[in-house]
Amino acid sequence: MPKRTVCDTVRNLNRYQHFYHLAFDSAGITFDFDKVVFPIFSVSRNLGHLEVSAGKTLIAVIVGAAAVVTVVLMVTTTGFRLQDEVTVIRVGVLPDEDAAELDRRYAPFLQHISRQTGLDLRLVVPDSYRDLLARFGRQELELAYFGGLTFVNAQIDHDARPLVMRDVDARFTTYFVVKGDGPLSDCVNLMCADLAGKVITFGSRLSTSGHLMPRHFLATEKAIVPETYFGDVRYSGAHDKTIYDTRDGNTDLGAVNSEIFRTMRRDGRLTQGALQVVWETPPYADYVWAVSDRLSEELVTRLRDAYLMLEYGNPEHREILSRMGARGFLPAGTTDFEPLRQVTDSLGLLAQQ
């Protein structure tokens, strides 16, 4: 394995991208507190005495050891944040629709954030909700758009910090939909004898609006346990897929994000009358933009301010907000998602992740 000097490693740390990997996977510095190895000298601790390789002075040993201690303290100090030299922000979003639609939705927004912050924002579309969590955990993302359930997991496992939420996210809902001309079109409020034994489709297992909350409200409002009430329980993986599966008759009942349903009607992807909404859940808190806890407070503030300055009365801003199903953004806090965390605990979904 090639060795590098402390200065080389510090330069790498300032570039931040793989900070923890360099420090702990020995790509930059080799140390395990029992042996410290640099290209210019070797120091071993053996039963309390130091052995210095020939031709090297004790001063070099002390300086090298001090540098290692400094780096270790930087890594392990809880207050450490990525510094302001950061110029690229990798932005992960929920893959709740196809990639082309996600790019259309977020492109103007990312351009706005870039203009306001001077940062280069790069959209990352993961393969699944679980992949979004994994990428955030591997520090491949600095900013992520989570659903409530994925945020709760990211906060517990990876110290995600809530940044902002859309104005609609404090009171979000799920629609239960059926085929417009199908046999369940008159099953208002899910009150019909023919519903039992039918096929229900949720979105992703990690979706708040497509699985967690509709499952919760089926139990609390309708006394329905999907696995015992319905003939089959399926997971499409995305809201638009659930909508299309229901429209095409591949499932009898779909649980979908109400905002995506309305958006697909507005932009023509879903024709009027193709689906019938038979029940809307009570409201709950859902989506949130969150940042890595490695970002400095100054960077977090710059990002938050860029969100909060969007005003619906500004025509350019209105176009950005409309694509994202919002009229504005609000600061978000961890307490906003405490009720959701309790629901997640009650359904045992945290233990399954």
Concatenated DSSP letters for 79-138?
T--B-TT--EEEEEE---S-HHHHHHHHHHHHHHHHHHH--EEEEE--SSHHHHHHHHHT
Closest to 204 measured CA to CA, from 291, 296, 96, 282: 96
Over range 5-22, report the average pLDDT: 36
Q: Is the pLDDT confidence value at 42 over 90?
A: no
- Whether 249 and 274 share a structural domain: yes
Give me Rg for the CA atoms of the chain: 25
Instruction: Strand 329-331: give its sheet, edge to edge.
Output: 120-124, 88-93, 143-146, 288-291, 161-166, 329-331
Tell which of 31, 53, 76 closes a domain.
Answer: 76
Asked which of 16-20, 200-204, 219-223 is least confident by mean pLDDT, the reply is: 16-20
Q: Is residue 1 part of a domain?
A: no
Q: Is residue 38 part of a domain?
A: yes
In degrees, rounded to 5, the angle at the alpha carbon of residue 42 between the alpha carbons of residues 37 and 44 is 90
**Domain containing residue 186: CATH number:** 3.40.190.10
Tell which of 255, 280, 305 closes a domain.
Answer: 280
Asked which of 85-94, 249-258, 330-339, 344-353 is least confident by mean pLDDT, the reply is: 344-353
- Whether 154 and 299 share a structural domain: yes
Over range 238-246, report the average pLDDT: 97
Give the span between the Cα atoms of 346 and 349, in whole angstroms: 8
- Whether 134 and 180 share a structural domain: no
**Residue 114: burial class (beta carbons within 10 Å; 0-12, 13-18, 19+):** middle
Q: Are 152 and 349 in contact (CB under 8 A)?
A: no
* Element holding 323 (H helix, E strand): helix 315-323
What's the mean per-residue pLDDT of the chain? 81
Q: Which domain holds residue 137?
A: 88-168+286-352
How many whole angstroms from its chain centre is CA 117?
21
Give the span between the Cα atoms of 152 and 341, in whole angstroms: 6
- Whether 258 and 308 share a structural domain: no
At 140, list the tokens: 């491949």
Q: Is the pLDDT confidence value at 283 over 60?
A: yes
Q: Is residue 81 part of a domain?
A: no
Cβ contacts of residue 339 below 8 Å, gap of 6+? 284, 285
Q: Is the pLDDT confidence value at 176 over 60?
A: yes
Q: Residue 344: its pLDDT value, please?
A: 85
Asked which of 39-43, 172-176, 304-308 is least confident by mean pLDDT, the reply is: 39-43
Tell which of 244, 260, 280 closes a domain.
Answer: 280
- Whether 102 and 36 share a structural domain: no
Over range 324-334, report the average pLDDT: 93
Q: Is the pLDDT confidence value at 50 over 50?
A: no
Q: Is the pLDDT confidence value at 96 over 70?
A: yes
Q: Are 235 and 201 in contact (CB under 8 A)?
A: yes
Q: Residue 350: its pLDDT value, please?
A: 62
- Whether 181 and 258 share a structural domain: yes
- Whether 301 and 231 share a structural domain: no
Q: Is the pLDDT confidence value at 29 over 70?
A: no
